[in-house]
């Protein structure tokens, strides 16, 4: 089909800039489209809009209209009624929907009617649909049309309060201070006189004002007083129609609470107060002082705080506040003295925890007179605390001072006796009747009884009535040079050998118990006539470095060093300096060779032959008892000669000397101090004793004596004893027998390893020992201070070992010669 097209222009203009814009709008209509109702086609087929067929819309009704009903509202008509016999119908809210049957329409005339009152606040408007039909065919003769009915408001709702009506404000606030805002609402149509509300205060206008349209309550005066009236109730009116007389209104009571400020100081009920207390009493309540305060109770504005402003310069009184009654509680905390004053005049001020504000004045004060009652008192020292300066080491008997007491009532010291109540070091003696203080023992500033140079003594004075009083004496002790510097922590030092040809050195430190100027800096020096092997360097405040001058063999050396204080007081102290090889600053023990020499081999062979000797009986038995078993035919005795260790059996099968010396020619021992072993001693051997290892120097235990070993081959020439190895034998005279000579073999091997591991430390103990003289008659003689094994290379002792050992000895000698 063909389309007819026409266009027109729309001009848009912007007034402020006078600019325009053209928009072309085309319209196209097909030629074969039938003319729509209300549209006519001319010869040029241009569309023209025809006149509407419905009545003017919308229309309105009045809410809550008064009867009679129904009432005509408006006529609805259609132009199609000219060509058709039509009838009208309406549907929608207010007709077929709630509120139902509010509206109806006359089917023939199209008159819309309302049938009962309606509330605008519930239904502000109605929109329903009107339809028109052909009365014959029942078909619509025109399009449906929406009809809007507006409900016109009437002032049928009074305003209501919508917010809280409880407010608070500080008392004595300034005029214009905001108290609170009253809020309201009105259900009538907004922005109409029906909802324009005016606020008015019906009461309380002398204290407060309210904004006529804002509802804001403010203070009108600065004289609001909580103590006069805590709560203020004001009546507020809200009226619509902007407060017109015909306006609807409501009223309510607003509660305004005045908040407390500290505008009232505490007040006393009396103009003066009096109290009485006995002298020498402390921590006693002497007076309760009541006060009144108009401010709110149990708050900082009400809680009282009492201050003694005058008369308590000596601190005899304390005043507190009773938290329940708010009274002032006056206490004596330091005893009063009747002799010093019969009455004490105080001035007490009553205050609050919070400061005063507003129009209040100042804190109030009242006088309080406290009378002191007299009592018979003990003597009193003057002064109660005496300070005496004294030098330490002041000679005994020296008079330091006189410390006496007086009777407070008589002001006399007659009949008073003095005693020492506390003197930790008993340094001071006090004259019983004179109070003289004399030195009784050495006064030492360095004593632990002295604190910060002060020493305290308590003296007691007793009068004839047996009443007493105490006085304190503080001795301020002045230092004297009564101590010399001492090397710490001791005089035994370790010096590590230097590396790469450097000499070793060790730091010496000293301390002095005296104070300056009798202490540091110290002076270190070597005394005259020293051996020249040592020197001192890097001498500082309390230390110096001792250094080798020449190379020295490892061992222990004595080095005299003179140490003096700043006043050149001191002396020579002998140091024991051990020179050794070190690892990480510690001495490393020298490892001795454990290679078995001639005598070591011989010793092991001797032990083996002893075992064979016992086996000649045809049988080797084992015993775990300390007493001899029945299988042992004869007791085994070990005889210790003066020249070493001798082993001897009862039947004379084995005898020799220097057994210990055979163990290791190159070994190093470490003798332990102990009681000397004198003469021949019988030794009890048993299995348990040979395996005790609580001491490294374990050996044979003599009956009634300690174990021993000789140091002649191992760094010394003296005998030492050790009680840690074997048990003492039983008190009986019966000799214990050897359980097995295999034990001896194991033990000798153990000692061999021990001597090989012995360190250089033994050299420090290798000093001469003195031994007691046992008298004559011993077949082996006595052990002297310088006894040794004698000739270590002499093998004549082998001749005494018996025929069975001679062959063995010859074989060993031949082997040695071949080697």
Lowest mean pLDDT: which of 261-270, 330-339, 474-483, 498-507?
498-507
User: Do both 526 and 575 map to the same domain?
Assistant: yes
Is 50 exceeded by the pLDDT of residue 86?
yes
Which residue, of 478, 508, 539, is where some domain finishes? 478
Confidence of residue 583 (pLDDT cuts 50, 70, 90): confident
User: Do both 80 and 113 map to the same domain?
Assistant: yes
**pTM of the predicted model, to two decimals?**
0.44
User: Do both 272 and 364 map to the same domain?
Assistant: yes
Lowest mean pLDDT: which of 190-199, 264-273, 388-397, 698-707?
698-707
User: Do both 369 and 384 map to the same domain?
Assistant: no
Confidence of residue 56 (pLDDT cuts 50, 70, 90): low
Q: What is the pLDDT of residue 636?
A: 36
Q: For residue 727, is it within any domain?
A: no
User: Do both 251 and 277 map to the same domain?
Assistant: no
Confidence of residue 497 (pLDDT cuts 50, 70, 90): confident
Q: What does the mean pLDDT of the chain come to?
A: 75
Q: For residue 767, is it within any domain?
A: no
Residue with tokens 């020992």: 769
Alpha carbon distance 726, 750 (integer Å) = 15
Alpha carbon distance 630, 244 (integer Å) = 145
Higher per-residue pLDDT: 552 or 470: 470
Q: For residue 85, is it within any domain?
A: yes
Confidence of residue 727 (pLDDT cuts 50, 70, 90): very low
Lowest mean pLDDT: which of 292-296, 553-557, 755-759, 811-815?
755-759
CA distances to 126, 181, 553, 579, 760 from 584, rounded to whole Å, are: 109, 89, 20, 15, 18
Confidence of residue 334 (pLDDT cuts 50, 70, 90): very high
Among 306-310, 708-712, 796-800, 813-817, name the most confident range: 306-310
Cβ-in-10-Å burial (0-12, 13-18, 19+) of 362 comes to exposed
Any bridge partners for residue 49, and if so which? 39
User: Do both 399 and 352 map to the same domain?
Assistant: no
Is 90 exceeded by the pLDDT of residue 700?
no
> What one-character-per-residue DSSP string does 651-682 give?
TSS---S-TGGGS-SS--------PPP-S--B
User: Do both 457 and 420 map to the same domain?
Assistant: yes
Q: For residue 449, is it within any domain?
A: yes
Give the residue from 606, 562, 379, 362 showing the smallest Cα distance to 470: 379
220-227 mean pLDDT: 92
Is 80 exceeded by the pLDDT of residue 473?
yes
Q: What is the pLDDT of residue 368?
A: 96
User: Do both 493 and 557 map to the same domain?
Assistant: yes
Structure tokens at 378: 């003990």
Give the residue from 595, 553, 564, 560 showing the smallest Cα distance to 576: 560
660-679 mean pLDDT: 35
Range of the domain at 164: 160-259
Is 70 exceeded by the pLDDT of residue 152?
yes
24-34 mean pLDDT: 47
Q: For residue 652, is it within any domain?
A: no
CA distances to 203, 548, 555, 566, 616 from 532, rounded to whole Å, are: 118, 9, 17, 26, 66
Give the residue from 139, 167, 178, 284 showing the smallest Cα distance to 231: 167
Q: For residue 496, is it within any domain?
A: yes
Confidence of residue 27 (pLDDT cuts 50, 70, 90): low
* CATH number of the CATH domain containing 272: 2.60.40.60
Q: Give the CB-side neighbour count of residue 708, counting CA atoms within 13 A.
A: 32
For the chain, what is the domain count? 5
User: Do both 499 and 566 map to the same domain?
Assistant: yes
Q: Is the peptide bond before 32 cis (omega within 30 degrees of 0)?
A: no
Q: What is the pLDDT of residue 589?
A: 64
The C-alpha angle 595, 597, 601, rounded to 5 degrees, equals 105
Which residue, of 348, 373, 398, is where some domain finishes? 373
Confidence of residue 503 (pLDDT cuts 50, 70, 90): confident
Alpha carbon distance 780, 710 (integer Å) = 16
Lowest mean pLDDT: which of 180-189, 309-318, 363-372, 635-644?
635-644
Lowest mean pLDDT: which of 30-34, 588-592, 609-613?
30-34
pLDDT above 90 covers a percentage of the chain that reads 47
CB 511 within 8 A of CB 485: yes
Structure tokens at 399: 């008079």
Is 50 exceeded by the pLDDT of residue 367?
yes
Which residue, of 540, 556, 586, is where some domain finishes? 586
Question: For residue range 584-607, what is the model confidence (pLDDT) as tens digits?
Answer: 778 886 444 444 556 666 777 777
Alpha carbon distance 48, 686 (integer Å) = 149
Q: For residue 811, is it within any domain?
A: no
């Amino acid at each position: 089909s063909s389309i007819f097209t026409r266009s027109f222009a729309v001009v848009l203009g912007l007034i402020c800039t006078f600019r325009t814009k053209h928009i072309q709008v085309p319209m196209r209509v097909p030629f074969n489209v039938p003319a729509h109702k209300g549209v006519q086609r001319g010869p040029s087929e241009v569309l023209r809009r025809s006149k509407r067929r419905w009545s003017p819309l919308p229309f309105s009704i009045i809410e809550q209209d008064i009867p009679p009903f129904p009432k005509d509202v408006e006529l609805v008509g259609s132009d199609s009624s000219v060509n058709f016999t039509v009838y009208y119908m309406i549907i929608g809210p207010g007709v077929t929907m709630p509120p139902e049957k509010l509206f109806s329409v006359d089917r023939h005339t199209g008159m819309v009617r309302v049938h009962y009152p309606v509330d605008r606040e519930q239904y502000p408007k109605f929109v329903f649909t009107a339809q028109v039909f052909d009365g014959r065919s029942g078909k619509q003769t025109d399009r449906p049309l929406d009809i809007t009915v507006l409900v016109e408001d009437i002032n049928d709702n009074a305003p209501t309060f919508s917010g809280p009506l409880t407010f608070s404000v500080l008392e004595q606030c300034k005029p214009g201070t905001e108290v609170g805002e009253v809020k309201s609402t009105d259900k009538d149509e907004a922005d109409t006189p029906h909802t324009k509300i005016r606020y008015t205060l019906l009461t309380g206008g002398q204290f407060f004002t309210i904004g006529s349209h804002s509802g804001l309550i403010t203070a009108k005066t600065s004289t609001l007083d909580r103590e006069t009236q805590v709560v203020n109730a004001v009546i507020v009116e809200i009226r619509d129609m902007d407060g017109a007389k015909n306006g609807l209104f409501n009223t309510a009571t607003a509660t305004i609470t005045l908040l407390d400020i500290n505008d009232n100081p505490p007040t006393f009920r009396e103009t003066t107060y009096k109290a009485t207390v006995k002298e020498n009493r402390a921590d006693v309540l002497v007076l309760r002082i009541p006060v009144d305060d108009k401010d709110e109770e149990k708050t900082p504005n009400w809680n009282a705080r009492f201050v003694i402003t005058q008369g308590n310069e000596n601190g005899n009184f304390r005043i507190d506040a009773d938290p329940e009654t708010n009274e002032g509680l006056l206490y004596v905390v330091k005893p009063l003295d009747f002799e010093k004053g019969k009455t004490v005049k105080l001035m007490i001020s009553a205050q609050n925890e919070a400061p005063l504000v507003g129009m209040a004045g100042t804190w109030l004060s009242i006088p309080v007179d406290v009378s002191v009652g007299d009592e018979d008192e003990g003597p009193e020292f003057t002064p109660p605390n005496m300070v005496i300066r004294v030098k330490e080491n002041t000679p005994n008997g020296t008079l330091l001072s006189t410390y006496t007491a007086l009777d407070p009532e008589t002001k006399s010291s007659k009949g008073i006796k003095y005693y020492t109540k506390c003197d930790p070091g008993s340094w001071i003696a006090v004259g019983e009747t004179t109070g003289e203080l004399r030195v009784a023992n050495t006064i030492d500033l360095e004593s632990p009884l002295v604190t910060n140079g002060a020493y305290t003594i308590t003296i007691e004075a007793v009068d004839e009535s047996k009443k007493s009083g105490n006085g304190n004496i503080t001795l301020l002790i002045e230092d004297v040079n009564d101590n010399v510097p001492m090397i710490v922590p001791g005089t035994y030092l370790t010096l590590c050998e230097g590396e790469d040809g450097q000499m070793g050195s060790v730091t010496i430190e000293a301390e002095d118990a005296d104070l300056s100027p009798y202490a540091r800096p110290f002076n270190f020096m070597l005394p005259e006539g020293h051996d020249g092997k040592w020197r001192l360097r890097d001498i500082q405040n309390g230390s110096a470095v001792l250094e080798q001058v020449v190379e020295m063999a490892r061992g222990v050396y004595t080095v005299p060093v003179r140490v003096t204080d700043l006043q050149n007081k001191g002396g020579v102290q002998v140091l024991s300096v051990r020179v050794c090889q070190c690892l990480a600053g510690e001495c490393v023990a020298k490892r001795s060779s454990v290679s078995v020499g001639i005598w070591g081999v011989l010793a092991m062979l001797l032990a083996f032959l002893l075992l064979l000797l016992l086996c000649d009986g045809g049988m080797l038995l084992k015993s775990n008892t300390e007493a001899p078993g029945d299988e042992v035919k004869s007791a085994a005795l070990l005889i210790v000669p003066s020249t070493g260790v001798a082993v001897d059996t009862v039947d004379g099968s084995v005898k020799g000397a220097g057994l210990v010396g055979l163990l290791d020619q190159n070994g190093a021992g470490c003798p332990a101090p102990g009681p000397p072993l004198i003469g021949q001693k019988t030794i009890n051997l048993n299995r348990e004793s040979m395996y005790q290892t609580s001491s490294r120097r374990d050996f044979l235990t003599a009956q009634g004596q300690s174990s021993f070993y000789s140091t002649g081959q191992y760094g010394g020439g003296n005998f030492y004893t050790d009680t840690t190895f074997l048990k003492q034998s039983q008190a009986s005279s019966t000799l214990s027998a050897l359980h097995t000579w295999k034990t001896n073999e194991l033990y000798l091997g153990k000692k061999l390893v021990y001597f090989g591991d012995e360190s250089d430390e033994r050299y420090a103990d290798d000093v001469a020992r003195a031994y007691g003289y046992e008298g004559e008659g011993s077949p082996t003689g006595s052990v002297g201070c310088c006894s040794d094994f004698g000739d270590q290379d002499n093998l004549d002792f082998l001749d005494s070992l018996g025929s069975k050992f001679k062959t063995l000895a010859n074989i060993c000698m031949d082997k040695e010669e071949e080697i």
